[in-house]
Amino acid sequence: MMITFRLNDADVSARVSAPTSLLDVLRDDLGAFGTKSVCEQGECGSCSVVLDGEVVCSCLVMAADAEGSDITTVEGISADGLHPVQAAMHAAGAVQCGFCTPGIVVTAAALFDTNPHPSKDEIKEALAGNICRCTGYGAIVRAFEDLASG
């Protein structure tokens, strides 16, 4: 079937088969490689996107269900330059291999867009679904604590 949705403020279409996930459509059909495929079962948050205002794991969304929706991926978080969460992560050394990074950017941007001054516990709760294997999370927490206090 053909599906059409808004992706980072542009209309896109893709021909999908029934069991295809939104993640696979983004990567394989639309070439939006910023969204990462890691666990394929909603455990790690690496494929996080904003769908109609809500952060979701795109691996758990059937592509057909994205019909007519408005989706923002990491590529759409900041039109040019860096979103404040990206700048904070860059400055704090919160990126190593970077494979979790797009999912964390998407999740943190949604947090800060609604709560500009989250507490440390609120930061951790918001990111509880995003696994990072490299940093041990220390620099990620510092990045967002710095941003929250700014």
Partner 1 sequence: MTTTIGSRVSEMAGRVGDSPTRPDGIEKLRGEFVYAQDLHADRMLWGATVRSPHPHARVVSIDISPALAIGGVHAVLTADDVPGRATFGLEQPDQPVLAGGEVRYWGEPVAVVAAEDHDTARRAAAAIVVEYEVLDPLVDPEEADRLDEVFRRMTIRRGDPDAAGSVVVEGYYEVGMQDQAPLGTEAGLAVPDGHGGVDLYATSQFVHVDQEQVVASLGLDSGQVRSHPAGVGGAFGAREDVNLHIHLCLLALHTGRPVKMVYHRSESFTGHVHRHPARLWYRHHADDEGRLVRVEARVLIDGGAYASTTAAVLANACYFAVGPYRCDSVAVDGAGTRTNNPPCGAMRGFGAVQVCFAHEAQMDRLAAALDMDPIDLRRRNALVGGDSMPTTGQTIETPLPTIEVIDSLLAMPMPGPDIPDDHHHLPGGSGLTTEAGDVVRGVGYALGIKNLGFSEGFDDFAQARVRLTAEGAIVETAAIEVGQGLVTVLAQIARSALGVSQAHVRHVDTSQIDSAGSTSASRQTQVSGGATLEAATRLRDAVLARYGGDRLDDEGVWKGANLVAPMDEVAAAGLSETATFRHPPTTPPDENGQGGVHADFAVAGHRAVVDVDPELGLVRVVRLDTAQDVGKALNPESVRGQIEGGIMQGVGLAIMEELILDNGVIRNPNFTDYLLPTILDAPDVEALLIEQDGSWGPFGAKGVGEPPTISSTAAVAAAIRVATGRPITRVPVRPQDIVGV
Residue with tokens 């795109």: 58
Among 30, 62, 75, 113, binds partner 1 (CB under 8 A): 75
Among 12, 30, 64, 141, binds partner 1 (CB under 8 A): 141
Residue 112: strand pairing partners: none
Among 30, 78, 84, 145, binds partner 1 (CB under 8 A): 78
**Phi, psi torsion values for 57, nearest 5 degrees:** -85, 115
User: Coil, strand or helix: which one is 29?
Assistant: helix
Among 30, 99, 113, 145, binds partner 1 (CB under 8 A): 99
Strands annotated E in the chain: 2-7, 10-15, 48-51, 54-57, 70-72
Q: Does 64 bind partner 1 (CB under 8 A)?
A: no
Q: Which residues bind partner 1 (CB under 8 A)?
A: 17, 24, 27-28, 31, 33-41, 43-44, 46, 73-75, 77-78, 82, 86, 89-91, 93, 95-102, 105, 121, 124-125, 127-141
